């Protein structure tokens, strides 16, 4: 059990690295939109998990309410970055696309960190938020019949 | 060996740091919120009078007022119930007054934005703002954007409340699972000190989790609508956004009831002298509600023939599964608490028990409407506003009034005047609701400025009952105000 606790950041880090660098290295085609949204959710959640593990080793006093505002703002920012107008800029450029995915990982980390700074274990609240948002966006965010 | 993690105590935050005591903060919010409810109720009365041809309203004005009434009432009721739950748990969970300030300010800003969009801009696609209507009306584009920003602010306010509630529960009970009292079922979760969360905390834990799920849905919804508003090229699937609208709107309105349950669990024992006790049945029933409340929304979309059948059937099943456990446990639990107790009848206890009746009646009416064969007949009739007015106005709002009465202090036995006020209020309330149900049975369509017979005559009668209801409400609020001043002068706080 303890070995598993030690190994999960490594295993998750490996998965994140494959997800980020795989398309660059092997030139894989972009996945379908739904899967792409879930990929973003995976990066956000992974970032959040790393942040929770980081803060657990460095407990801090209960923080300022602004940390919670940051959590909410970061959640909204992650959605804004998935808008076609924004995403379209990087979609055709593999390097920029990968950088944006790194951005999702960073947002996930910051969101998890901010939640944990407000109160220990509140990172789970952030994870809940991004998982639900990820699943919902996968069901149809940014897709629909063409607008006349 | 892993190093033990030492967590420091919460920052000692005194309410005085923000210039407000929790009591003053809650009192101010209740005053503003109840005033808003009165104004929005007046708007409801004006709409009824227009449907009954007692006054003339342009259809555009009617639909704008309908939008304000719906969105305003839901937001205000959520605000008031959240503040009530915050007040009864703030000491126990070390909840922070500054977080409540952020939450209240965000929701009030949202309400102001929605009001400006409606009253100045004439925005009027109803609170459901079903796509593509918000983008096709006669109102200016800015009012559409402002209204959606208003919804965003309401969601942000509720998210802040849920996050702080969750933080307080984790701080006090070690984890949200212990807040849900799952330790009564799972020995591994039990705390060394044997402390188990009381029922009010179980309800709060459920609200915190489902509240965040709802806010997540709401944020995707509003970002998508705002994106379409900024750039009409942004594609929206009408069925997807309709599902999302009801996921957010239905669930947040529904959660107001579950927030109220937390308040009931705390306050009702004060009148009866008996306590609610956490046990495995409570924990299980609230766990079932936790999982199924966010899945009940598809019962609003039975008429959408392209909807996936599993969602239709799932929506019906979830409605039944979600509502029965917690409501039965709360309603039976409350009745058993009162039965043969040394009940002290005060305005607060009367309002709480009447609210439980409204919750039950409205809940049964809602479940009927959520049953597919009934829905085929009742959908889009006045039965729908009948059921949600019963459990929101005749249930949740009575809990808010009951809490307010408890909050201002109830040491004196109520006199005849107070009883007369209560009778006036309840007469208006029941009469008003019955006209809605009668309209539903007669198949009068909802959300229409002009109704076919017998809609207008029922609206005429309902207008009279709304007037009686509002007179009763004003008298009740004045009585609360006078009692609050008198008790404050005597140095008496809340309670009996």
Cβ separation of B167 and A79 shorter than 8 Å?
Answer: no
Q: Is residue A26 assigned to a domain?
A: no
Q: How far apart are CA B4 and CA B27, in angstroms?
A: 42
Q: Closest partner residue to A68 among B5, B163, B215, by Cβ? A: B163
**A75 interaction partners in chain B (CB closer than 8 Å):** 216, 219
pLDDT more than 70, % of chain B: 96
> pLDDT value at position B393?
97
Counted residue by residue, chain B has a size of: 496
Q: Is residue A116 assigned to a domain?
A: yes
Cα distance from N-terminal residue to C-terminal residue, chain B: 53
Q: How far apart are CA B329 and CA B320, in angstroms?
A: 14
> pLDDT value at position B492?
80
- Which of A120, A144, A145 should we substitute to test contact with B (largest number of B Cβ atoms within 10 Å)? A144
Secondary structure in 3-state letters for chain B: CCCCCCCCCCCCCCHHHHCCCHHHHHHHHHHHHHHHHHHHHHHHHHHHHHHCCCCCCCHHHHHHHHHHHHHHHHHHHHHHHHHHHHHHHCCCCCCCHHHHHHHHHHHHHHHHHHHHHHHCCCCCCCCCCCCCHHHCCCCCHHHHHHHHHHHHHHHHHHHHHHHHHHHHHHHHHCCHHHHCCHHHCCHHHCCCCCCCCCHHHHHHHHHHHHHHHHHHHHHHHHHHHHHHHHCCCCCCCHHHHHHHHHHHHHHHHHHHHHHHHHHHHHHHHHHHCCCCCCCHHHHHHHHHHHHHHHHCHHHHCCCCCCCCHHHHHHHHHHHHHHHHHHHHHHHHHHHHHHCCCCCCCCHHHHHHHHHHHHHHHHHHHHHHHCCHHHHHHHCCECHHHHHHHHHHHHHHHHHHHHHHHHHHCCCCCCCHHHHHHHHHHHHHHHHHHHHHHHHHHCCCECCCCCCCCCHHHHHHHHHHHHHHHHHHHHHHHHHHHHHHHHHHHCCCCCCC
Domain extent at residue A74: 31-138
Question: Is the pLDDT at B411 greater than 90, yes or no?
Answer: no
Q: How far apart are CA B367 and CA B390, in angstroms?
A: 13
Contact B23, B84 (CB under 8 A): no
Q: A99: distance to nearest CA of chain B, Å?
A: 23
Q: Is residue A144 assigned to a domain?
A: no
In sequence order, what are the beta bridge partners of B445?
B381
Q: B1: distance to nearest CA of chain A, Å?
A: 9
> pLDDT value at position A90?
85
Lowest mean pLDDT among A18-27, A108-117, B91-100, B269-278: A18-27
Q: Is residue A134 assigned to a domain?
A: yes
Q: How many CB pairs under 8 A join A and B?
A: 125
A122-136, pLDDT tens digit by residue? 999 999 999 999 999
Cβ separation of B102 and A146 shorter than 8 Å?
Answer: no
A7 reaches B (C-beta below 8 A): no
> pLDDT value at position B8?
42
- Which of B110, B170, B223, B306 should we substitute to test contact with A (largest number of A Cβ atoms within 10 Å)? B223
B387-397, pLDDT tens digit by residue? 999 999 999 99
Q: Which of A19-33, B184-198, B239-253, B316-330 has the highest mean pLDDT?
A: B239-253
Q: Is residue A133 assigned to a domain?
A: yes
Q: How far apart are CA A31 and CA B368, in angstroms?
A: 43
Q: At what angle do helices B455-489 and B397-408 cross, to 10 degrees?
A: 20
B77-112, pLDDT tens digit by residue? 999 999 999 999 999 999 988 899 999 999 999 999
What the block records as the tokens of B465 is: 């009952």
Q: A25: distance to nearest CA of chain B, Å?
A: 31
- Which of B161, B171, B188, B235 should we substitute to test contact with A (largest number of A Cβ atoms within 10 Å)? B235
State the average pLDDT over residues B241-262. Answer: 95
Q: Is residue A19 assigned to a domain?
A: no
Cβ separation of A76 and B217 shorter than 8 Å?
Answer: no
Residue A119: DSSP 8-state: S
Q: Is residue A7 assigned to a domain?
A: no
Q: Is residue A92 assigned to a domain?
A: yes
> pLDDT value at position B356?
95
B338-351, pLDDT tens digit by residue? 999 989 999 999 99
Question: Is the pLDDT at B34 greater than 60, yes or no?
Answer: yes
Contact B181, B202 (CB under 8 A): yes
Q: How many domains does chain A have?
A: 1
Q: Closest partner residue to A125 among B99, B163, B240, by Cβ? A: B163
């Amino acid at each position: 059990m303890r070995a598993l606790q030690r190994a999960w950041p490594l295993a998750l880090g490996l998965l994140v690295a494959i997800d980020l660098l795989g398309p660059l290295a092997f030139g894989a085609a972009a996945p379908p939109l739904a899967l792409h949204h879930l990929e973003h959710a995976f990066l956000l959640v992974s970032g959040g998990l790393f942040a929770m593990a980081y803060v657990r080793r460095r407990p801090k006093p209960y923080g300022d309410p602004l940390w919670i505002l940051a959590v909410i703002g970061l959640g909204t920012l992650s959605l804004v970055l998935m808008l076609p107008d924004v995403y379209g800029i990087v979609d055709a450029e593999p390097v920029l696309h990968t950088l944006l995915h790194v951005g999702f990982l960073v947002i996930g980390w910051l969101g998890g960190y901010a939640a944990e700074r407000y109160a220990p274990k509140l990172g789970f609240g952030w994870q809940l938020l991004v998982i639900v948002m990820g699943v919902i966006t996968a069901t149809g965010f940014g897709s629909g019949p063409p607008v006349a | 060996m892993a190093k033990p993690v030492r967590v420091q105590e919460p920052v000692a935050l005194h309410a005085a740091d923000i210039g407000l005591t929790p009591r003053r903060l809650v009192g101010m919010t209740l005053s503003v919120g109840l005033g808003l409810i009165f104004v929005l109720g007046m708007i409801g009365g004006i709409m009824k009078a227009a449907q009954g041809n007692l006054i003339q309203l342009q259809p555009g004005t009617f639909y704008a007022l309908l939008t304000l009434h719906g969105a305003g009432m839901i937001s205000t009721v959520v605000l008031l119930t959240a503040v009530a739950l915050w007040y009864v748990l703030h000491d126990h969970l070390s909840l922070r007054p500054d977080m409540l300030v952020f939450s209240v300010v965000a929701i009030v800003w949202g309400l102001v934005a929605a009001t400006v969009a409606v009253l100045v801009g004439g925005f009027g696609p109803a609170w459901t703002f079903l796509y593509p209507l918000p983008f096709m009306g006669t109102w200016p584009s800015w009012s559409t954007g402002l209204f959606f920003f208003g919804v965003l602010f309401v969601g942000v306010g509720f998210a802040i409340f849920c996050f702080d509630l969750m933080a307080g529960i984790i701080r006090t009970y070690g984890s949200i699972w212990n807040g849900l009292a799952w330790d009564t079922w799972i020995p591994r979760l039990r705390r060394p000190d044997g402390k188990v969360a009381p029922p009010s905390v179980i309800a709060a834990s459920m609200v915190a989790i489902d509240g965040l799920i709802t806010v997540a849905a709401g944020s995707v919804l509003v970002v998508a609508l705002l994106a379409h508003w900024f750039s009409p090229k942004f594609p929206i699937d009408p069925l997807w956004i309709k599902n999302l609208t009801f996921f957010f709107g239905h669930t947040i309105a529904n959660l107001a009831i579950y927030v109220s349950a937390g308040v009931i669990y705390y306050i009702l024992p004060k009148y009866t002298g008996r306590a609610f006790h956490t046990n495995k049945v409570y924990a299980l029933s609230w766990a079932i509600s936790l999982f199924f409340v966010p899945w009940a929304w598809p019962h609003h979309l039975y008429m959408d023939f392209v909807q996936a059948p599993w969602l239709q059937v799932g929506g019906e099943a979830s409605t039944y599964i979600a509502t029965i456990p917690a409501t039965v446990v709360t309603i039976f639990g409350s009745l058993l608490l009162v039965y043969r107790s040394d009940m002290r009848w005060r305005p607060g206890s009367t309002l709480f028990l009447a609210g439980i009746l409204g919750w039950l009646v409205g809940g049964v009416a809602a479940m009927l409407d959520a049953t597919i064969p009934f829905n085929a007949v009742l959908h889009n009739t006045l039965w729908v506003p009948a059921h949600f007015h019963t459990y929101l106005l005749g249930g949740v709002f009575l809990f808010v009034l009951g809490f307010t009465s408890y909050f201002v202090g109830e040491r004196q036995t109520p006199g005849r005047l107070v009883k007369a006020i209560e009778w006036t209020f309840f007469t208006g309330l029941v009469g008003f609701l019955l006209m809605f149900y009668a309209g539903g049975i007669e198949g009068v369509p909802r959300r229409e400025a002009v109704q076919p017979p017998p809609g207008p005559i029922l609206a005429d009668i309902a207008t009279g009952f709304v007037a009686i209801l509002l007179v009763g409400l004003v008298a009740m609020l004045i009585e609360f105000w006078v009692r609050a001043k008198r008790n404050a002068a005597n140095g008496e706080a809340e309670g009996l």
